[in-house]
Chains A and B, each alone.
Chain A
């Protein structure tokens, strides 16, 4: 039962046009989110993780062109499941607005991008609550907001709720943004780097809170993060992205214990661990990220790949199923010559 799919994204692509030059940022991305589970999305900085999620919830500006076979959201909120084709909905139409917040909620990466510097913290947290619960008294909303801030471990919450964003530390701002996303009790939380500004104790406290919601209420989480420790603790499934594509996806065990794509392998080798030798340079994937505008065909990782062959430079590399549920976009997995 726990394997019901709540969000199903099939071949999502996003083209962003700047100065009349269109660039494909997200390319044929497919993934499925199971109810009550956590999907982690990892990948290189700038590979399109945030744009993918913004495209799913349609919080984008006019220079984005989004296409998809389908983006299917299945709401289990009231009684029988109800399906919505998010790709068919108008980004700022009535239905989409009614879904964003109470059903699907997003925690944005840069807190200051979603906080308004001139409003009090409390007013920003209750805004969604009042909007989606007509008839709710401001007093009640305020009390709920206060409770949420306390749950997130903000000290002196009664005082803080009346303050402004500039008076907060980085980690406090981040928790305010999490509070805004969680206050309407959404079915899916998309958390984009939610804990970069948090110390490890508060990070684990917030992750415990999310896990608790997940087991009690069968919430689903999409966690975008660079922190592999967090992925190991939280995720059920992982999707690895590189230059706009999902290059590898599967259950966490498969990705961590049997990574098949050379990018995933390189990424996992670069993970810092406590107690590293201080006199040696850190391991990084050699080479640098290509400019997305320069890429035309072939594997996006070819230029940095130790196993690159002529065939890797042509066409679109398809995705292969290496083992049940474990997909890899790499020709080596087609040959079966995997180490």
Chain B
């Protein structure tokens, strides 16, 4: 059951510089993650959804220490004490890195094309300090079995796998080291629905057995709703709605969330849903609009939305919404 916080994000920001010319002069910033505050609770699944490019992967990378935060803080519970990630010593960082793992969105880019899968899967175990070869091979074998890939495939190269097989290899690699927090970035999107169901059931079972915490990033809302305890909806680097999974799906309150839910294609014939079609272009994270980041595309935009940015506020029962229409 979800409990206390294991990670605390406070106004966390990741900005990438935008450069121009041969001297790489900085002319602005891509505000990929732009002030996110939330707690990730022990043993929960926190779903993260939102438009392509809104900063989901960057958020995951910041948690993984793969991307430096440019502002705010991320703190982790390490042996009962919250420690800010930026202040960890090198051995502590190593310990933290054992605690968190990420299943990357682009499995092909995440695997070294020159190395056999065996090496890709063995490396994290060596880093973990598992010295005995037999022990490593036993872990490898059970990880491969877990994701349902024949053992002799260990000696193939990444390009010799199908898209979904590569994705399963990445899942095996992230889970074999027994982490406590796993960032799943589009971890099942390349799988057919049956294997996807098997993997999701497995992720749930492992969560119960090993008390794992998941940050579950995906575009398939039906899957996110099924997997998550809570869901954070992101738009242009910010969280615009955060609520219990069922509440969010039954009663979406931010206009962006509403349009997102209405766009889900249904697996039935001849019943094309009425979509809340978004007007206007996707704004750029480089020149963000003033006021509410969504106002240019919002069907219910008011005068105040153009100038004042709404704060993410609890509107009762832990349902957080950043929208002036709620005031």
B169-206 CB contacts (< 8 Å) to partner A: 185-186, 189-198, 200-201, 204
- Find A272's partner among B16, B222, B265 (CB 8 Å cutoff): B222
Segment at the A interface, from B79-87, B128-136, B157-165, B318-326: B157-165
List B contacts of A272 (CB < 8 A).
193, 196-197, 220, 222-223, 226
Q: Is A209 an interface residue (CB 8 A)?
A: no
List A contacts of B249 (CB < 8 A).
274-275
Kindly report which residue of chain A lies nearest to residue B275, judged by CB atoms: A204
Q: Is A276 an interface residue (CB 8 A)?
A: yes
Determine if A197 and B52 form an interchain contact, defined as CB atoms under 8 angstroms apart. yes
Q: Is A298 an interface residue (CB 8 A)?
A: no
List B contacts of A51 (CB < 8 A).
162
Q: Is B94 an interface residue (CB 8 A)?
A: no
Given A204-B263, A274-B221, check contact A257 B52 (CB 8 Å). no
Segment at the A interface, from B1-9, B34-42, B280-288, B301-309: B280-288
List A contacts of B57 (CB < 8 A).
169-170
Q: Is B259 an interface residue (CB 8 A)?
A: yes
Determine if B196 and A112 form an interchain contact, defined as CB atoms under 8 angstroms apart. no
Determine if B190 and A113 form an interchain contact, defined as CB atoms under 8 angstroms apart. no
Given A50-B163, A198-B219, A200-B260, check contact A172 B53 (CB 8 Å). yes
Q: How far is the CA of A173 from the CA of B220 in the complex (A)?
A: 18
Q: Is A135 an interface residue (CB 8 A)?
A: no
Shortest distance between the CB of A4 and any CB in chain B (Å):
25
List B contacts of A334 (CB < 8 A).
none
List B contacts of A48 (CB < 8 A).
162
Determine if A270 and B108 form an interchain contact, defined as CB atoms under 8 angstroms apart. no
Determine if A201 and B259 form an interchain contact, defined as CB atoms under 8 angstroms apart. yes
Shortest distance between the CB of B266 and any CB in chain A (Å):
5
Q: Is B101 an interface residue (CB 8 A)?
A: no
Q: How far is the CA of A287 from the CA of B136 in the complex (A)?
A: 27
Determine if B108 and A233 form an interchain contact, defined as CB atoms under 8 angstroms apart. no
- Find A276's partner among B226, B250, B263, B281 (CB 8 Å cutoff): B226
Shortest distance between the CB of B188 and any CB in chain A (Å):
9
Q: How far is the CA of A113 from the CA of B51 in the complex (A)?
A: 23
List B contacts of A232 (CB < 8 A).
265-269
List A contacts of B261 (CB < 8 A).
274
List A contacts of B150 (CB < 8 A).
291
A29-60 CB contacts (< 8 Å) to partner B: 42-51
Shortest distance between the CB of B245 and any CB in chain A (Å):
7
- Find B265's partner among A204, A282, A293 (CB 8 Å cutoff): A204
List B contacts of A202 (CB < 8 A).
51-52, 282
Q: How far is the CA of A281 from the CA of B165 in the complex (A)?
A: 22
Determine if B53 and A200 form an interchain contact, defined as CB atoms under 8 angstroms apart. no
List A contacts of B78 (CB < 8 A).
none
Q: How far is the CA of A159 from the CA of B17 in the complex (A)?
A: 13
Q: How far is the CA of A111 from the CA of B189 in the complex (A)?
A: 14
Determine if A155 and B195 form an interchain contact, defined as CB atoms under 8 angstroms apart. no
Shortest distance between the CB of B147 and any CB in chain A (Å):
10
- Find B18's partner among A159, A173, A284 (CB 8 Å cutoff): A159
List B contacts of A228 (CB < 8 A).
193, 267
Determine if B194 and A267 form an interchain contact, defined as CB atoms under 8 angstroms apart. yes
Given A198-B219, A291-B152, check contact A284 B194 (CB 8 Å). yes
List B contacts of A270 (CB < 8 A).
193-194, 196-197
Q: Is A338 an interface residue (CB 8 A)?
A: no
A254-298 interface bits toward B, Cβ cutoff 8 Å, 1 = contact, 0 = none:
001100000000111011111110100111110011010100000
A287-329 interface bits toward B, Cβ cutoff 8 Å, 1 = contact, 0 = none:
0110101000000000000000000000000000000000000
Q: Which of A48, A169, A228, A230 has the most CB of B within 10 A?
A: A169
Determine if B265 and A233 form an interchain contact, defined as CB atoms under 8 angstroms apart. yes
Q: Is B68 an interface residue (CB 8 A)?
A: no
B132-166 interface bits toward A, Cβ cutoff 8 Å, 1 = contact, 0 = none:
00000000000000001010100110011111111
Shortest distance between the CB of A184 and any CB in chain B (Å):
24
Determine if B265 and A230 form an interchain contact, defined as CB atoms under 8 angstroms apart. yes
Q: Is B107 an interface residue (CB 8 A)?
A: yes
Determine if A276 and B222 form an interchain contact, defined as CB atoms under 8 angstroms apart. yes
Q: Is B50 an interface residue (CB 8 A)?
A: yes
Determine if A278 and B245 form an interchain contact, defined as CB atoms under 8 angstroms apart. yes
Q: Is A144 an interface residue (CB 8 A)?
A: no
Q: Is A253 an interface residue (CB 8 A)?
A: yes
Determine if B186 and A197 form an interchain contact, defined as CB atoms under 8 angstroms apart. yes
Q: Is B278 an interface residue (CB 8 A)?
A: yes
Shortest distance between the CB of A251 and any CB in chain B (Å):
11
Determine if A197 and B105 form an interchain contact, defined as CB atoms under 8 angstroms apart. yes
Q: Which of A18, A156, A198 has the most CB of B within 10 A?
A: A156
B2-54 CB contacts (< 8 Å) to partner A: 16, 18, 49-53
Q: Is B77 an interface residue (CB 8 A)?
A: no
List B contacts of A285 (CB < 8 A).
194
List A contacts of B126 (CB < 8 A).
none
Q: Is A110 an interface residue (CB 8 A)?
A: yes
Kindly report which residue of chain B lies nearest to residue A228, judged by CB atoms: B267
A-B contact pairs, 14 of them (CB 8 A): A45-B162, A156-B284, A170-B52, A199-B50, A199-B52, A226-B190, A227-B265, A266-B194, A267-B192, A272-B193, A275-B222, A275-B249, A281-B204, A284-B201
Closest 3 CB pairs of A and B: A45-B164, A171-B52, A229-B265
If A110-B108, A197-B189, A270-B197 are given as contacts, then 13 extra A-B residue pairs at C-beta distance below 8 Å, sorted by A number, are A46-B161, A169-B57, A199-B49, A199-B51, A226-B192, A226-B193, A229-B264, A232-B266, A270-B196, A272-B226, A274-B225, A276-B226, A278-B225
* A residues whose Cβ falls under 8 Å from a Cβ of B: 18-19, 42-51, 109-113, 153-156, 159, 167, 169-173, 175, 192-193, 196-204, 226-233, 252-253, 256-257, 266-268, 270-276, 278, 281-285, 288-289, 291, 293
